[in-house]
Amino acid sequence: MRDRLRSATDPMTLRRSTVEHPFGTIKAWMGTTHFLMRRLKNVRTEMALNVLAYNIKRMIALVGIKRLMAPIPV
């Protein structure tokens, strides 16, 4: 652990760039810092829908809507 902490890359910098941005974006989309639903099952569902929406928007930004929709039969 000591060697990992002394390495050139800061673990928090890596975490901020990979984990914190998506959660910050989702939190901003939600508009507030609390969930709209109550009970753990409902909160899980709400978070899952927010994550799904984030992933779809990210894929559209990276791949494009035409390439994303191409494999889907019409």
Q: Compute how many other C-beta atoms are within 10 angstroms of the C-beta atom of residue 33.
A: 6
pLDDT at 45: 94
Question: Considering only CA atoms, which of 19, 6, 16, 15 is closest in space to residue 54?
Answer: 19
Per-residue pLDDT band for 27 (boundaries 50, 70, 90) equals confident
Q: Is the whole model's pTM more than 0.75, yes or no?
A: no
pLDDT at 40: 94
Domain boundaries, the chain: 2-69
Tens digits of per-residue pLDDT, 29-58?
A: 877 667 888 999 999 998 899 889 989 998
